Amino acid sequence: MKLIYCIADIYNPGGMERVLLNKLRWFVRKGGYELMVVTTDQNGRPPFYEFPPEVRLVDLGINYKVDNGRHPVLKILGYFRKRSRHRRALTRLLMQERADIVVSLYPSESSFIPRIKDGSKKILELHFNKFFRQQYNRTGLLGLADRFRTREDERIVRRFDKFVVLTREDAGFWGPIPNITVIPNAALAQDTPPYDTNNHRVIAVGRLDYQKGFDRLLRAWAKLPEPLRKTWRLDIFGQGEWEQMLRDMAASLGIADSVDIHPPTNRIFEEYAKSAFLVMSSHYEGFPMVMVEAMASGLPVVSFNFRCGPRDIIRPLENGLTAPEGNTVTLSFMMQMMMINPERRARMSEEARKVTRIYSEDAVMTRWEQCFKDLLPF
């Protein structure tokens, strides 16, 4: 079976990239697949993760992201020009490759790829949720574009042979779409040391931008009693345009001595092993891979109850704690409850590891294979 994945880029250390890598490794081990990843914005940069040599990597050189930061009118005009070039380049490639299945991870080709008549079945795989375009609360022309594109999404997803979302919660938001199906991301079992209640470090992982909400996390951390901030640390791993703003914010809140921001690492599981629990302050997710990876490593989770993921994954008081979305006072209180009770953390650690039973790689990938078989005539 020839299988092509379309994604914007693979040079970032994001969850979507890591999920794709894990899938491709599984397909390589299983055998019987010819695999390709097609990007638009790699721009000569190497992949952050090491992809198997059996996977062909092709970049179309569209580079949508170079227009980020331009005037909204110029950005919109540039986007439409590049999308036209993208459509022509991807059409040529798919007509040449004649894949069995083409999966779009919801970059720009999702608006036109179902119309490419290369003989492949088209799958749209959403790693966000239905409302992801509106989470930034942008105003003006860009806000108008966000609202328009959200309405367009409802039409776009119906054009695909299969539309895959990651949680039952998100499927409910889309409503009775006939081609929709739920396939979560897999949680890989990790060979990590036993949980150490002596670890007094809280870890957060993600891109340093609006979506991950680390400004909210810093405000919650500042609300902790001072004695706890003197004996506990918050380590954030990530990169992005908010880095300096977050450092300045930590200084202005008087918490810089207990907060560090570290660059991304491809050895994140070693960092989980040095931590007491994970905290997530996102505004939204599709299926938070950081959450399930940390839980697979034995970390309980404290999280806002954002859309989507926590309602599917966290069992409050068993494997983690949730705070109402955006309520930094409650998030701070939940972190405090974790910090002062090592017995609770240890008990939740055991429950957290069970996430690998619910979202085992073989179970999830078997569902993907069945999805492919349902679409193909043989």
Interval 231-285: pLDDT, tens: 999 999 999 999 999 999 999 999 999 999 999 998 999 999 999 999 999 999 9
| Pairwise CA distance, residues 261 & 255, whole Å | 12
Q: Which secondary structure element, helix H or strand E, spans residue 111, and what is its range?
A: none
Sign of CA dihedral 69, 70, 76, 79: negative
Can you tell me the distance from the alpha carbon of 32 to that of 7, in angstroms, rounded to the nearest whole number? 22
Backbone φ and ψ of 321, nearest 5°: -135, 145
Q: In CATH terms, are 2-185+360-375 and 201-358 the same topology?
A: yes
Report the pLDDT value the prediction gives residue 136, as an integer from 0 to 100. Answer: 64
Contact 122, 113 (CB under 8 A): yes
**Domain at 2-185+360-375: CATH code:** 3.40.50.2000
Q: Is 378 a residue whose pLDDT tops 70?
A: no
User: Tens digit of pLDDT for each residue in 45-103?
Assistant: 999 999 999 999 999 999 988 877 777 777 778 888 999 999 999 999 999 999 999 99
Residue 108 pLDDT class (50, 70, 90 cuts): confident
Q: Mean pLDDT: which of 111-120, 151-160, 189-198 is highest?
A: 111-120
Q: What is the DSSP letter of 284?
A: B
> SS3 for 191?
coil
In whole angstroms, what is the distance from residue 349 CA to residue 341 CA?
A: 12
Q: Which two tokens stand for residue 274?
A: 């040095």
Query: Could you tell me what percent of the chain has a pLDDT over 90?
Result: 79
Say if residue 141's pLDDT is above 90: no
Q: Where are the domains of the chain?
A: 2-185+360-375, 201-358
- The mean per-residue pLDDT over the stretch 126-148 comes to 75
What does pLDDT average to over the chain?
93
Global pTM?
A: 0.81
Name the maximum alpha-carbon separation found in the chain: 65
Q: Is-contact 37 3, C-beta < 8 A?
A: no
Question: What percent of the chain shows pLDDT beyond 70?
Answer: 98
- Read off the pLDDT of each residue in 32-55 and give the average, rounded to a whole number: 96
CA distance 376 to 373: 5
161-186 pLDDT, tens per residue?
A: 999 999 999 999 998 999 999 999 99
What does the pLDDT read at residue 129? 84
- Spatial neighbors of 40 by CB under 8 A, at least 6 apart, are 8, 9, 59, 60, 61, 62, 63, 64, 86, 107, 108, 109
What's the pLDDT at 137?
65
Residue 13, pLDDT > 90, answer no
pLDDT digits (tens, 9 = 90+) for 213-223: 999 999 999 99
The DSSP-derived string for 235-263 is EEE--STTHHHHHHHHHHTT-GGGEEEE-
pLDDT at 134 over 70: no
Task: Specify the pLDDT at position 145.
Answer: 75
Q: Say which CATH architecture domain 201-358 belongs to.
A: 3-Layer(aba) Sandwich (3.40)
How many alpha carbons fall within 13 Å on the CB side of residue 145? Answer: 12
Task: Please state the rounded mean pLDDT for residues 37-52.
Answer: 95
Closest CA to 109 of 139, 78, 88, 127: 88
